[in-house]
Chains A and B, each alone.
Chain A
Amino acid sequence: MQQAAVQQAANDHAAALEAAQPMIVLDKVNKWFGALHVLRDVTLTVKERERVVVCGPSGSGKSTMIRCINRLEVHQEGRIEVDGIELTGDLKNIDAIRREVGMVFQSFNLFPHLTILENLTLAPIWVRKMPKREAEELAMTYLGRVKIPEQAHKYPGQLSGGQQQRVAIARALCMRPKIMLFDEPTSALDPEMIKEVLDVMVELADSGMTMVVVTHEMGFARQVADRVVFMDRGEVVEVAPPTEFFGNPRSDRLKMFLSQILRGH
């Protein structure tokens, strides 16, 4: 009965995706660090409410790709469009896009000199010009959703890694973004803390957020992703739904990658 409902929801989600608007468009994006060609003709479209997981060996350009989407890195060739706005040197466009795109980092990057609550209310107050009281209510709502409202008045240094990463997710959500980017959100965590962060991310996915997640958590990819992207040496090598991606990989590079990371599973 419950399984049928879940299946129904999944089908609805898939049907909705068919009709959805593209939220992120990368078209033949190229980037170099000095002479090193780190992104080669990367083309990828992410639709509204779609969940895309990006994986690949280290140095494959997956982090660089995701960081280009909110212009923490500048691409040199090609076109990136987010929510209909093209990313150029135009500061106004960059600001507009950053307001709509939340980001969660591998190393949390909470502001250590501010309390948890201040970390969460900072951007709503200064960027969204929200009254302080309203921002605090919003912050407490999201802290509740990541299940640590009782830590609001502590400082980041007093929290565990898993708690800090959940705060970082709540901080990004307080800007009410349309898109959430995750750059290896569990790679810096102790094993026993990975689950609490993934649980929050699964919940977020269920709520219909558009997500691009760079991760090595293949269980998460199987459970949540609409599509999985495999990158290697700056190229998008393969894009497929998780069942096909893991069950029937086409390219040799992906087969080798999967055999390496799934060894022992």
Chain B
Amino acid sequence: MTPPPAEAATMGQASAAFVPAEERRPPSLSVGPIGWIRANLFNSWASTAVTLVLGYLIIRWTLGFLDWAVFNAVWSVPGTGQAVNTTACREMKGIGACWALIGEKYRFILFGLYPFDEQWRPAVCIAIFVGLYVVSAMRRFWRRELLFIWIAALTVIGILMWGGVFGLPYVEQERWGGLIITLILSTFGIALAFPLAIFVALGRRAHNLPAVKALCVVYIELIRGVPLISLLFMASVMFPLFLPEGMNIDKLLRAQIAIILFAAAYLAEVIRGGLQALPRGQYEAAEALGLSYWQKTGLIILPQALRMVIPPLVNTFIGMFKDTSLVLIIGIFDLLNAAKTSIIEPAWQGFGTEAYLAVAAIYFVFCFAMSKYSAGLETEFNRHRNR
């Protein structure tokens, strides 16, 4: 395939004379922040107009909010307790926020009716919970020992909350309240509903065990078919009627069980989605190697299925965390109920915005942390996925 001499000569000349064109940088107006702004905010007359209008509204609203929340805010008022004088707040109502309310009531919002002098106990418990979350979030602690850490931590929390031993005065459960209730309900809710949901999801797919499958389907459909509030009412009002005389399970525990059962039904469907998305070949390869059902499920199926459903799982967790606030309807003092109750005194009536904003901020911190963590987990798990 030698080219004819004439052609070879011209090619030779061309390649000898070839000098790559000078490399140039892209036009400076098309890259970097300026390029981004031009491409996304001002790429046509219409988009320029929308950008300007929205920009004006955002700036105006932000300045207005800062005026209310910071510059005109009332940070403290004279007096305390019954003798508090909230005139300063009332004069600024609508113009400036009354953060004095939070300064006065934050302990009630966080700890509810827990005896004032003992409130360090729920405070420590909240810290233990947060510590537990942080430790559990780190993958290098994902070992058998983590289970013992949890059992130990929950035991300490139980001792601190109830007391009655080690010289701690006994505090009955009816007086617990505030953030700790929200954390207890959602932590136990997630920690116990999750394994239950895995079994229900597996059960629903157990085609060779029709009875188990039917049971799981009935459970999921029954629980999903009713609102959480009705389950909570059932737990608090109806359930005690069926108990034998003299037997009593406390209200918090009943609400807790209702939340676990409710969450597990939703989580089971999320997990089932992951199980179904896994290619059949993975099941077959595990079986062909001689793995037993539980080895196959624990080593091959669940690790992959759960990774696939991290976004909807965390979505459900976040929903559950906020749904625990519905227990206020059966008179349990969770964070939201405590905030609602904190503005019941005549002196503080009308400052709901401030109280609810403070509580919203607490909810947001927990939910946003979950959301960021799940995003990080996804990136880490997908690093080795087929590329």
What is the interface of chain A, defined by CB distance below 8 A to chain B?
70, 72, 95, 98-99, 101-103, 105, 107, 109-113, 122-123, 126-127, 155-158, 171-172, 175
Contacts and interface: CB of A to CB of B under 8 A. Distances in A.
Given A70-B287, A103-B285, A157-B386, 5 more contacts: A107-B279, A111-B300, A111-B304, A123-B291, A156-B386
Interface string B291-322: 11001000110011001000000000000000
Name the prevailing secondary structure of the B interface residues: helix
B281 interface: yes
A9 B279 CA distance: 43
B288 A127 contact: no
Query: Interface range on chain B: under 10, 10 to 19, 20 to 34, or 35 or more?
Result: 20 to 34
B289 interface: yes
B300 A98 contact: no
Contacts of A175: 289-290
Contacts, number: 69
A113 B289 contact: no
Nearest to B387: A157
B291 A103 contact: no
B303 A127 contact: no
Contacts of B279: 107, 109
B385 interface: yes
Given A107-B281, A157-B385, A113 B307 contact: yes
A155 B384 contact: yes
Given A95-B290, A127-B291, A105 B284 contact: yes
27 contacts: A70-B288, A72-B284, A72-B288, A98-B287, A98-B288, A98-B289, A99-B290, A102-B288, A103-B288, A105-B281, A105-B284, A109-B281, A111-B285, A111-B304, A112-B384, A113-B307, A113-B381, A126-B295, A155-B384, A156-B386, A157-B384, A157-B387, A158-B384, A172-B288, A172-B289, A175-B289, A175-B290
A109 B289 CA distance: 11
A111 B282 contact: yes
A95 B292 contact: yes
A235 B202 CA distance: 37
A127 B284 contact: no
Nearest to A124: B289
A72 B287 contact: yes
B289 A123 contact: yes
Contacts of A127: 289-291, 295
